Every structure is written in C-alpha cells, then in structure tokens.
Structure 1
Amino acid sequence: MKPYQILKHQNPKPFILIPHQRSLFSALSSSTSDQSQSPSSEISPDVLVESARSSQWHFIKHLSPNLDSSLISTVLFNLHKTPELALQFTSHVEFHRLDIKTRCLAIAVASRLPSPKPTLNLLKPTVSSDIAGVAVIFDELALARERLGISTTILFDLLIKACCEMKRVDEGLECFYMMKDKGFIPKIETCNALLSTFLKLNRTESAWVLYAEMFKMRIKSSVYTFNIMINVLCKEGKLKKAKDFIGFMENLGVNPNVVTYNTIIHAYCSRGRVEGARFVLNAMRSKGIQPDSYSYSSLISGMCKDKRLEEASEMFEKMKEMGLVPSAVTYNILIDGYCNEGDLGKAFHYRDEMVEQGISPTVSTYNMLVHALFMECKMDEADDLVKEMEEKGLAPDQITYSILINGYSRCGNVKKAFSFHDEMLTKGIQPTRITYTSLIYALSKRNRMTEADNLFEKIMKKGVAVDVIMFNALIDGHCANGNMERAFSLLKEMDKLNVPPDDVTYNTLMQGHCREGRVEEARKLVDEMKRRGIKPDHVSYNTLISGYSRRGDMKDALRVRDEMLSTGFNPTLLTYNALIQGFCHNQEGDIAEELLKEMISKGITPDDSTYLSLIDGMGNIDQSVESCNSC
C-alpha cells in the first residue's frame, strides 16, 4: 500500500489537500524506506502547523514518536494564539515524552484558555514526574511566559494550585516564595489553596506562618481566607480566639458569613460545649445572619453526643418550623443518638419520617439501625433490615459487613460470621481490622484457638496493620484455654511489631495466671505494667484480690486492697465479693460480716454472689439471711 493510501485508510473523512502535504508524504515514505535518517529532520514546522489547522491529527499521531522536542516547541509557539488548537496538538504528540522546556511551553500556551483545568491537567503529571524539581519547572514556566509575552502570573498561581491538589504543599509553598522573590504577588485564591491544604493536613503552625507572610506582603484576605483561619483556630481548640477573630475580620472591612459562624458552632458542639454554640448562634442572629440547616445539625449533633436527646428533638422541630429542610445527615444524627441510647422505637420513627419527607435513607442510616438491632440481639430483624436495604438498591459497604460479622461473632454464630466474610471478598470489599478482630474474638470464645491462630497468620501475611485490640482478643482466648505460653509469646510479638500492650493486655494475662493459682506471677505483671508506664486499674487489683482470696491468703488480699486505695481506686462490688468469699472459706464469718456492713455503708449493693458466699461460710441459711437483713 502506498503512503497516501495508508493515510487515506486511517482517515475515512474526505481528503483535503493542504500546503506542504507533499513534504509530509515524503517524510512518511522516507520513514518506511530508510530508518537511518531522522524523519523529523525532513518535516518542517509549517507542515505540522497546517496539519493541525486542518485537523489532520492522524498525520501528527503517526509521526509523533519521531518528532523531537525542538520541532514540537516551534509548532506550539506558532499555534500559541489559538490555544485550543495547541492543546489538541499537545494531546497527539505524547506529552510525557517531551523535555521540560517543551512541556512548560505547552503549559504556558494552555494557560491562555478560559478554563484552568487543561493547564492543571498538564501541570500535575509534570510535577509528579521525575523530569525536574518544582524550582526548575517554575523557572522554565517563567521563560515560556516571557517568550509568549504573557503579562499575568496565572502560570505560577496554577503551579501552586496543582501542588496543593496533589497534597504536595511544601513544593507549593516553595513556589509561593519564588513568586515573592521575583516581585510577583500570588492571587488570594492561590494563598487560600495553600492555607486550606495546610488545614486539611493538620499543619496549623505552617498555616499561621504563611498567613503572617501574606499579611507582610499586603495580600488582602477574603472572607474565605478568614474562614480558613477560624477553622485553624478551632482545630487548635482555641475557640475564644476563633470568636474574637470575627471582630478582627470586621475591623478589616470583611463581613463574616454563615460559614464563619457555622465553623465555630461546629467546633463548640464537637467538644461538647453546646451552650457555647448556642451563644454563637445568638450572636449570628444579632448580626442579621440567619442560621441554616448546618447550624442546627451541628447543635443537634452536640446535644445527641451529650445525651440530651429530648432537647435535640426539640431543636429539630424548631428547625423545621423555621422552614429549613433537614437532610439525610440531620436525620442520621438523631437516629444514631437514639440507637446509642437503645431507644429503637424513636430511631425507627425518624427513619420512617425521613422516608415520608421524600428523603431516602442512606447506607449509614441502615448501618446504625442494624448495629442497634444486633446490640439488642434482634438477629432476625437485623437480617430483614439488610434485605430491605438491598431491595432499595443500596449495596452493603465495608461498615455494613463489619457490623454483621461483629454482631454474629458476639452472638456465637461463627459460621454465619465467616459466611459474611466470604461474601465481602467475593464482592471485592476488603475486610477491615475490626472485621478480623471480630472473627478472632468469635473463634476464641468458642475455644477454636488453632483456627484463631491460623487466621491471625493470614492477616499478618496480607499486610493488615494489627493493633492491640486484635492481640488482646487472641491473648484472651489462649489465657481462657490455659495456654499461657502462647499468650506470652504473643506479648513478645507485640513488642517486635511496635504494638504497645495496654492495661487490658496485662489484666488478661494476670487473670490467666490467677486462674491457674499462680498469683505471684500475676503480681509480678503489675510491676512490669508500672515499668512500661501502664497504670494498673481496679481490674488489675481485683484480679489479684480474687486470686489471693481463692487461695485463702487473706493477708495478701487485704494488702492489695490497701494498695488499691492508696492509688486512688475505690473498692468495687467485685472487690468485696472476693474478700467476703475468701474470709468465709477460711471460716472467718465475723470479718466477712464486717466487710458486708462496710460495703453497704459505701453505697455498694450486695448481689446474689455476696449472699451465697455468706450463706456458704456461715453454714446456716437462716442465720446468714438474718445477719444480712440486719445490715
């Protein structure tokens, strides 16, 4: 097939003769007949420019592997007054193969377009590639800007924005200072992008350093700038300063808006300071700024976290009376609040109300309700709700499966828990650490420790970051099964993986030792806890007291009780039950009775275990009951 036939075959549109097309045919012919010569050396920039202008993109695409950067650079310069055409040309010449100079020229040409998106799309791969550092890119953009006679600083602003969108904020800041050194003033939108990225990355100190630099450069802040800095103060927990900052922005002639106040209201509510949030809400109204749905949702959320559910419901009704339409998020806040309090009736009431209002429940809505049903051991209702969710076209997510697996694990249905695990995998949903912890817990409670260990090994091989909770579940299972050697090997493995043990880890190991009568070994673990900086709690002391009491070593048991008091922990029902049981077994009923009186005087109500110990110790049911009643 001849060259012109090849070209005609590749483009079925009517063939248009253009100037220099013969040169192009010649180049194509030479590229197929003589590989020793560079085809680009026989193609003039004019040929490529005319090909681009007549949309003969197949010519350019076919030749692109053989076009050098110098030739492409010349074509881009010739097309710079028609940036749309230049951008199309760039897309057909394998942008990633170009040298940094040509890339930056292409970016500079694209910056003439009304939308910044094409320029950002070229900047991001350039910044992320290894072709040059951001300082070199900045300098090359400056040269391209001069060559094209661009008077604005848009290229540098977009470079900083690209860095921010890629979370490469330090490189963006470097460009900011390079602009400053050249006497250029970044746009306020550029500064806001840097500040916002620092905020998202929780680098509040860096945000303040940049803000101070902006102030020195007399870059005028917008309301968006002030809102970011108020958010920074809120994140730092400086809520009073955040409120005072409103006065500062007003003095500079910038009026706060609803977002300004909502930021502070949300911060107060998230820290449980609902009354402070109410004060800000009133201040907002006094300035003539009407609260919106977000304002009320924040207050409702704060009240729910503070377990002030009736007030939250009243606030919700007030919000509706003001003509504000609640979102699914607002309903979910209330549903979550009532689910946490175990009031499923009210939780489902709000689910039904949102449906009546034409607001579709979300996956989060169903997740909260399913979890609440599992907490009440209403397994069938939870299953029905998951089916309803799927019927409405909502796919269970990672959280849904974690709830299902955890729920069935807690109820001892290991088979069903693992069936959901398998279903997750078939749907391409990766189990979370919580999911695996639930499965290990379920196996441990069913004494299936070999399977639990095997699952743990699989988790490790998958690269899942195991935590102290997962280790504790596995250690608890081995301690309960008397396999202390394996339990302590897991403690060593925690150290190797830099997973610090906590008080639960040690309490579990202590309980394992005491179960086997090795109270001295358990006592040594308390000292080890202290060396690690872990403070023993009432569970630690009660474990030792129970261990000594079961063995009849009441002096040691009382000594631990005194140590418990000296460290600021008050004896609990478990403490007294263990001591009473120990003295009763030692036939020292008088001391047991004194302890009973003491616990009642401290407001601790005896339970069945207390009375059974006394009855057993005294050997006379009537006498025991009479003694208990006299207390």
Structure 2
Amino acid sequence: MIFAVPRCSCQKMRNYRASGFHYRTFKQRRLSNLGDVNQAQLYSRFCSISQFEASSQTLDQPSVPPLNIEEFLEKAVLDSQWHSIEQVSSSNLTPSAIYNALSKLREEPDSVLALIQKLGFECLDVRSLCLAVAVVCRLPLPQPALLLLKRALNGGVATNQELFDELVLAHESLSLSSSIALDFLIRACCGLKRAEDALECFYLMKDQGILPKIESCNDLLSVLSKLNKIDTAWALYAEMFRLRIPSTVITFNIMINVLCKEGKLKKAKAFIGHMEGFGFKPTVVTFNTIIHGYCSRGKLEGAHEIFDTMKKKGIRPDSYSYGSLISGLCKEGKLEEASALFGKMVDERLVPTAVTYNMLIDGYCNKGNLTMAFLYRDEMVSKGIMPTVSTYNLLIHALFMGGRAAEADGFIKEMGERGMAPDAITYNILINGYCKEGNAKKAFDLHAEMLSKGIHSSAATYTSLIYVLSKQKRMQEADNLFKRIVGKGIFPDVIMFNALIDGHCINGNMARAFMLLKEMDTRKVSPDEVTFNTLMQGLCREGKIEEARGLLNQMKDRGIKPDHISYNTLISGYSRKGEIKDALTVRDEMLGKGFNPTLLTYNALIQGLCKNKEGEHAEELLKEMVSKGITPDDSTYFFLIEGLG
C-alpha cells in the first residue's frame, strides 16, 4: 500500500519544533537487554556485529576529528574506522549531529546498526532512534528494527504517541512509500505483551488513513487472545473486517482459538466452513486448535470427531494432534486408551516428545501405577529423549505418595548427573513429602538449600513447614514462622490458616485457633468447610458439643455448606458423651441434606448405643451398614464386643 502522510499533521509537528517544543530525549543510561535478546543474537546485522578491529595507527595520528562531525562519522563508518569514532569528544556527539549522520547513511542499514552499536543506544534521542528504525526497516529480517523499538518501549522514555509521530516524520524525511516502521511499532508492543499500547498504535495508523498490515493485526489478535482479552479481540476483528484488511489462515486460526477459549466449541467447528467459504483451506493448526479446545474441556468424543474429520480432509495429524488426545484421555483416567493411541502415534512414525511421555507418566502416577510410569520413563530414555525436570517432579511426587520416599534422593542425584537442577516445584514436592512423613529436619534443611540457590519460597512451601511443626506440637515455632511469612509480604491463604488452626486445635489451644479465625476475617481470607470442621473437632475433643453445633449454624450463615465430615464430627461428639438421641437427630439432618452415612457415622452411633447398653440397637445398625455395602472394621467389632460383653 502507498504510504501517504497528511501534510497538516507533519506541518504541525514542525511548528512545535520551531516554537521550541522538543520531545523528551533518552536518559543517559544504558537500557537493559530485553528478554528476547537471544533471538536477536541470531541476526548478525545488529546483535552479533563482528568485533571491530582497529587498524594500526601511527602515534602522531590526529585525535581531533574534522569540524563537520556528520561527514566525519559517515566516512568513519563506511571505511570501518571504528577506532576513530572512539576518539570523538562526547560534546561533539550531539543529537543533531547523530541524526544528520544517520540521515547520510540512509542507504546503508547495516552501517546504521553498526554505528548505533558503537555509539551506544543511550546516545540516541527519539528523533534519531525513529530515523534509524526507518532505515533499518529496509533489511530483509524484521528483528533488528523490532529490537530497537522494544528497547525504546522498555526504557519508558518515550510514549507511543511520541514514537509514532517521529516515525511518521522519519518516513517523510526519507521519502519512503512503505508504512512498515509503524507496523513494527505495533508488533514491538505485541512482543512485549503490551496489548493496550499496540491497540493505540493500530488506531493511530487508522486515524492517519494508513491500513496496518495483516501480519501486525495477527500479532495483535494473538496477544489479545493470550491475555484473555476476548471481547477486545472480537472488536478488533470486526474493525479489521470493516476496514477490509484481508484475513489469512493465521487470522482464522487465532479467532478459532478465541472461540475455544470461550468454550464455544460448536462455533469453532463451524468456523472451518466460514474460512473455507472465503477460499482458505484449514491447516493442521486449525484442527489441532479445536481438538485441544475439546480435550481441555473433557469433551473427548467431540475431539475424536474433529480428529476423524481432519483425516477425511486429507490433513495428516501430527504429534500435537495425538498429544492433545492423549492428554485428554489421561486426565479422564482412560490410560489404556491413551497408551493405545500413543502406540498408533508411533506406528505413524511420529516422534513423541518429552511432553507426550510426561502426560502418560503423570496419568499412571495419579493412578498409583508406578510400574507403568517408570516403564515410560525408561522407554523415553532408550529412545534418546531426555527426561525433563517435570518428568522427575512427577516421579518424585508419586514416590512420596506411594510411601517410597527413600528413593526420592536417588532421583535428585540422577537429575544432577544429567545436568538438571531442581526447580521450585521439585523443592516444594520434597519439602511437602518429608513434612507429611514428619521429618521436620530434612524439610527445613531442604528449605535452607532452596533459599541458598535463590529459589523463592511460596505460600505452599511455608504451609508444609507449618504443618510439620504443628504435628510435632511445636506451636510456638509454627506461630513464629507464620509471623515471619507475613512480615515478608507473603499473603497467607486459607490452606495456610487451616494448617495452623489444625495444629492449635489438636494441641488444645482453642483460644488461639479462634483468634486465627478472626485474623482470617481481618485479612479478608474466606474460611471454608475445612476451617470450621477443624474447629468443630477441636471443640468436640473438649466435650463442647453444643458450641461445635453452633459453628455448624455459623457455616450456614456464611454460605458455607457443611459436608459429611461436619455432621460426622457432631455425631461422634454426641456419641462419645452417650447422648445418642442428639447423635441420631444429627444423623437424620445429615440424611435430609443428601449425605449418605459412612463407616465413621455407623461406628460413632454403634459406640454411643453400646455405651448406653443398647446392644440390640447396635446390632441392628450393624446389619443396616452391611446391607448398604459398608464393610465393618476393627473399631466396629470392638465397640460391639465391649457393649455386648
């Protein structure tokens, strides 16, 4: 598209300058590299400019450059006399001089990049930067220009409006017909996930009568989707349609993904016909997006239908297609089907990734089938696929869950031998595992090691440590740790509060437990049924059953639904006191709320009946529980023998 700049806009900016108005210059400090600097290093023109070697010079070479600094810089750059530039006084390198030098090098984008590299990015003001971007845009690859703009945006020393206006002037100064630099401004904002800034640039271009390129629009739609700004994405898509910016397959794929995020899977499926109507053939990415959408919502039947449709249209499923289905099946616990599909994937000569193996390993670990989990780990190693930190995390967690903590240390050693370092998740799994085993020393040693490596503790880490201190009746230490956590600015959640409340309840510190309940309200942390069940159990242990029953009413007042544990706690409390009538009343209330009696319910009632010497009624309850498919345990028979004896 021909780039045309309204004369009034540019003339207005010149008038500002004539009246003494200047945009902010960049601060004299070196800006930090962006997170994507590694990507930039791939491009030799800017990020991997070869080291400049100064040619041998005589000792009497003049150190002062000619008075015309612009011509001097141009000649030094074109002749690669980089050592000469180093001798230039900083007072001579004014923003105006640099701008004029860059203007003289307008046909040499490689040289412009080299000059910026030598002078330092901080020497550029907004005007020079935008001129440099406009020149560098002529290179075949976009990354150097994008990196310049990202550094400017990240530095926070120029607004979008300022950058946009200067880019317009730079285009006019260079008599460029393309608006690519303005598109790059949108794409730079998108690369930094600054969706609002990118949108502002889009509408600035629209107001100038310039249509953004579809690549820029796709980048903007994509970042809006990733940030879950769904409504904004649809508004932008409608604006693109109104402006007649032609869509591509990528555009349709992004909008299908947006529909999947909204849960509108049928519309996503129908969108395939919509894009075909515009003459676009769906790709493997199109179908993979919808398959993933169905699988993420547990709708495996729909996912399989899309998978079959894909093959009927002659599009060969890839590793991602199979991976989504395998992941969905594993989440649903359908491991045999997942394994069978994995076999088909291998038969199709598709190479599974570590992610695919991790899905299967996770599925079997969750089922407690460590044999199969380890078989898949061994298989991936035999195929030369390196296990990831996630692989080890899954297996270590499964070992603790299976009571095989002793083997966990061996896996940590193996990780080290493979050059992998445990991450925050690894440490949390280990700390939580040892805390549940009651090994406080090991847990705290691991926590110290974690901190020494610069890995930050989370609320989950501290909750595990509070838990183990509480179980060991070290409540003063648990309280002190809680205070330190809050002092560090870590927001205690309901799980952390519950761990501390449970410790005080078990240790008979009910006053402190209720103080923590009040603190939860102060910190606006909503208690849950676990919080109240814990407090009720603590009161029942002290024989304060009526107070515990009062908490049941408090739960209802707060909109918290009592569960079977709430009712069983009261039934047990009344039964231990021999108040069987009240226990049966609570049992009836429990049944009225749709909760079926459990083994705990029957054991508590049988204990209460036997305590009241009502053995016959206890035997009737025994028959009832067996008829309901509930198997009596040792406690059941102990209560009966004690009562009947």
Q: TM-score, normalised by structure 2?
A: 0.87
Trace 1:581-592 onto structure 2 (pairs within 5 A): 581-592=607-618
Match of 1:386 in 2: 412
**Is 1:164 aligned with 2:190?**
yes
Contact map agreement 1:274 1:302 (CA 8 A) in 2: yes
Deviation at 1:144, TM superposition (A): 1.3
Q: Distance in 2 between matches of 1:130 and 1:449?
A: 49
Trace 1:110-509 onto structure 2 (pairs within 5 A): 110-509=136-535
Q: Distance in 2 between matches of 1:43 and 1:125?
A: 30
The count of aligned residue pairs is: 592
Deviations 1:458-484 (A, max 9, x none): 222333333211221111111110111
Letter in 2 for 1:25: V
Q: Distance in 2 between matches of 1:353 and 1:182?
A: 59
Q: Distance in 1 between matches of 2:69 and 2:439?
A: 76
Taking structure 1 as reference, are residues 75 and 392 closer, same or farther at Cα in structure 2, changes over 3 Å only?
closer
Q: Distance in 2 between matches of 1:380 and 1:532?
A: 44
Deviation at 1:26, TM superposition (A): 7.3
Deviation at 1:44, TM superposition (A): 4.2
Deviations 1:203-238 (A, max 9, x none): 111111111111111122111111111111111111
Letter in 2 for 1:153: S
Contact map agreement 2:300 2:325 (CA 8 A) in 1: yes
Q: Which runs of 5+ in 1 are unaligned?
A: 1-9, 28-41, 621-631
Selected match of 1:14 from 56, 77, 81 = 56
Moved over 4 A (4+): none
Deviation at 1:184, TM superposition (A): 1.3
**Is 1:25 aligned with 2:25?**
no
Deviation at 1:88, TM superposition (A): 2.5
Contact map agreement 1:266 1:277 (CA 8 A) in 2: yes
Selected match of 1:552 from 578, 584, 590 = 578
Match of 1:625 in 2: none
Match of 1:72 in 2: 98
Q: Which runs of 5+ in 2 are unaligned?
A: 1-51
Letter in 1 for 2:76: S
Match of 2:76 in 1: 51
Contact map agreement 1:64 1:92 (CA 8 A) in 2: no
Taking structure 1 as reference, are residues 44 and 451 closer, same or farther at Cα in structure 2, changes over 3 Å only?
same
Letter in 2 for 1:326: P
Contact map agreement 1:64 1:94 (CA 8 A) in 2: no
Taking structure 1 as reference, are residues 187 and 26 closer, same or farther at Cα in structure 2, changes over 3 Å only?
closer
Deviation at 1:398, TM superposition (A): 1.9
Taking structure 1 as reference, are residues 129 and 331 closer, same or farther at Cα in structure 2, changes over 3 Å only?
closer
Match of 2:556 in 1: 530
Q: Distance in 2 between matches of 1:342 and 1:238?
A: 35
More displaced, 194-203 or 498-507?
498-507
SS of the residue corresponding to residue 63 of structure 1 reads coil
Letter in 1 for 2:157: I
Contact map agreement 2:54 2:83 (CA 8 A) in 1: no
Taking structure 1 as reference, are residues 263 and 514 closer, same or farther at Cα in structure 2, changes over 3 Å only?
same
Deviation at 1:164, TM superposition (A): 0.7
Taking structure 1 as reference, are residues 153 and 527 closer, same or farther at Cα in structure 2, changes over 3 Å only?
same
Q: Distance in 1 between matches of 2:393 and 2:53?
A: 55
Q: Distance in 2 between matches of 1:56 and 1:16?
A: 14
SS of the residue corresponding to residue 381 of structure 1 reads helix
CA RMSD of aligned residues (A): 2.3
Q: Distance in 2 between matches of 1:103 and 1:326?
A: 46
Contact map agreement 2:65 2:72 (CA 8 A) in 1: no
Taking structure 1 as reference, are residues 253 and 421 closer, same or farther at Cα in structure 2, changes over 3 Å only?
same
SS of the residue corresponding to residue 64 of structure 2 reads helix
Aligned identity (percent) is 62
Letter in 1 for 2:541: R
Deviation at 1:94, TM superposition (A): 4.3
**Is 1:614 aligned with 2:640?**
yes
Q: Distance in 2 between matches of 1:66 and 1:578?
A: 91
Deviations 1:227-252 (A, max 9, x none): 11111111111111111111111111
Contact map agreement 1:576 1:599 (CA 8 A) in 2: yes
SS of the residue corresponding to residue 25 of structure 1 reads coil
Letter in 1 for 2:622: L
Deviation at 1:453, TM superposition (A): 1.9
SS of the residue corresponding to residue 584 of structure 2 reads helix
Deviations 1:140-176 (A, max 9, x none): 2111111111111111110001111111111101111
Q: Distance in 2 between matches of 1:216 and 1:202?
A: 23
Q: Distance in 1 between matches of 2:153 and 2:349?
A: 48
Match of 1:34 in 2: none
Deviation at 1:106, TM superposition (A): 2.5
Deviation at 1:266, TM superposition (A): 1.6
Higher relative contact order (CA 8 A, sep 6+): 2
Q: Distance in 2 between matches of 1:598 and 1:66?
A: 98
Contact map agreement 2:54 2:82 (CA 8 A) in 1: no
Taking structure 1 as reference, are residues 233 and 16 closer, same or farther at Cα in structure 2, changes over 3 Å only?
farther
Match of 1:519 in 2: 545
Q: TM-score, normalised by structure 1?
A: 0.89
Q: Distance in 2 between matches of 1:95 and 1:424?
A: 38
